[in-house]
Amino acid sequence: MTKDMTKGTPMKLILGFSVPLLFGFLFQQFYSLVDTLIVGRFLGKENLAAVGATGSVNFLIIGFCMGICSGFSIPVSHKFGAGDPKGMRKVVANCVWLAAAFGIVMTVLTTLLCRPILVLMKTPENILEASYAYIWIIFLGIPVTFLYNMTSGVIRALGDSRTPVIFLLMSSFLNIGLDLFFIVNLQWGVQGAAWATVISQGVSGVCCLLFIVKKFEILRIQKDEWVPDRHLMGTLCGMGVPMGLQYSITAIGSVILQSATNTLGSDAVAAVTAAGRISGFLACPFDAMGSTMATYGGQNVGAGRLDRISRGLRSCVMLGAGYSVIALAVSVFLGRSLAMLFLDAGETAIIGDVRFFLIMSTVFYFPLALVNIVRFLIQGMGFPTFAILAGVFEMLARAIAGFVLVPLMGFPGVTLGSPIAWILADAFLIPAYFHVRKVMEKRLAWDKAQAEDTGTEEREARRVSPVRSKLKFI
């Protein structure tokens, strides 16, 4: 049930691991995509804008949860790559304690503060109540967000990227059915879309948990391994919190940009909502590549195989470049048709804005590919702080777009926010990767020298006094 990524051809391993992940991210996007599609078709453009107005604050909070879980899974992959099953089980046990604590605290805080946040973001009055009703339920489901992301992250850290996809496929169809039932049959409005999302993700999380319990003998945690370890929890927080902050810091820029978009009216919000859902769907391969490189980098660092990391990076960048061209072609030739999935054909102005947004985004998809590939690789190698710094660059770019470009240019200024953010993040991440690699080379060289010195001392001790040497190892 596991996959060792420290041996074999990097390109083959990356493709084999990322393709199931890709389907997982595609199905995960169905949660938001189907919500948006059904809301837009059955409840109208104002409710579509209401769901979309929560997008940035949703990313701010849920992204933090996902980032924490991704960070927690990195030490799991390190222990697996190093061949330390007992240490790996202790890591997983402490992950459970931390995820439960974070889940409870964040649920309480976000459900209390979501209305003031929406008001602060200048959410248009005609969609404020619907936005609040939707996001309050999403935040109420934060514990199941932790459950799914934590369990699926552990499964992937052991090299199994296929199983979480199967459970996501099941829950995605459940999400579609619940959306239609709650919105069309029960007339629950946007609240129905939110409940469908929470319930579906909860089902996928429970399935991942049951799978771990029944199938992974290597993860059957013993009683003594459940004891909380302060030092280990500190290490896990040192990995998880920076990755969570990376998402949140990035999202702060998105919140600023969303606030600026809100000032353009509900039609602009509706256009950005539809375009954002389509763009998120098209960007799924980059998410899969990023998660793959986190596991690939983590296992190879754990095994001391730095020589394989550069080869894997080159292979993944080639895949990212090829897909970027495909995504641009889809936006150019199918952008208008994709927009009409969410909107009535008569909304020609909004449909035109959606297509323009998509083209502006996909033109810069290769920089986005590099952001995902390089950032997650660095994180997998054990340097999560760089993710925060890259997020700062993205935040600044989107803030500039929100404060300067949108007031000057209107809707085109909104479309430039993310491309500028990706380019600035790359300007930091690419040099950061070479720095990280040099640091790791020095660490491994030092460890090797220490091991050789220890071996020399032990051989000398055995030669001088075999009895003393024997007693030393008893």
CA distance 322 to 278: 19
For 27-76, the pLDDT digits (tens) are 666 666 666 778 877 887 788 788 877 877 887 888 888 888 888 887 88
Amino acid of residue 50: A
List, for the chain, all residue ranges whose pLDDT scores fall below the cut of 50.
Answer: 1, 459, 461-474
Using an 8 Å Cβ cutoff, are 171 and 145 in contact? Answer: no
Q: Is 467 a domain residue?
A: no
Per-residue pLDDT at 474: 25
**What pLDDT score does 418 carry?**
92
pLDDT the model gives residue 353: 94
Predicted local confidence at residue 35, as pLDDT: 67
pLDDT value of residue 3 = 64
User: Does residue 468 lie in a domain region?
Assistant: no
CA dist 435 → 204, 310, 378, 438, 439 (Å): 39, 13, 10, 5, 6
Distance CA 407, CA 396 (A): 16
> Is residue 473 one of the residues assigned to a domain?
no
48/46 Cα distance (integer angstroms): 5
Identify the pLDDT of residue 74: 79
Q: Is residue 316 part of a domain?
A: yes
Q: What domain count does the chain have?
A: 1
Residue 464 is assigned to a structural domain of this protein: no
Q: Which residue has the tokens 């803030």?
A: 399
Whether 471 is covered by a domain: the verdict is no
Phi-psi region of 265 (alpha: psi -120 to 50; beta: other; left: phi over 0): left
| pLDDT tens-digit map of 448-457 | 777 666 655 5
CA atoms within 13 A on the CB side of 116: 5
The reply to whether 332 falls in a domain is: yes
Structure confidence at residue 434 (pLDDT): 92
3-class SS of residue 359: helix
- Express each pLDDT in 356-413 by its tens digit: 999 999 999 999 999 999 998 998 888 877 877 888 888 899 999 999 999 999 999 9
In a domain, 400, yes or no: yes
CB 156 within 8 A of CB 164: yes
pLDDT of residue 454: 61
CA 247 to chain centre: 8
Quick one: 125 exposed, middle or buried, by C-beta within 10 A (0-12, 13-18, 19+)? exposed
Range(s) of the domain holding residue 399: 10-448
- Between CA 114 and CA 130 the distance in angstroms is 12
C-alpha span between 462 and 41 (Å, rounded):
80
Neighbours of 261 (CB within 10 A): 28
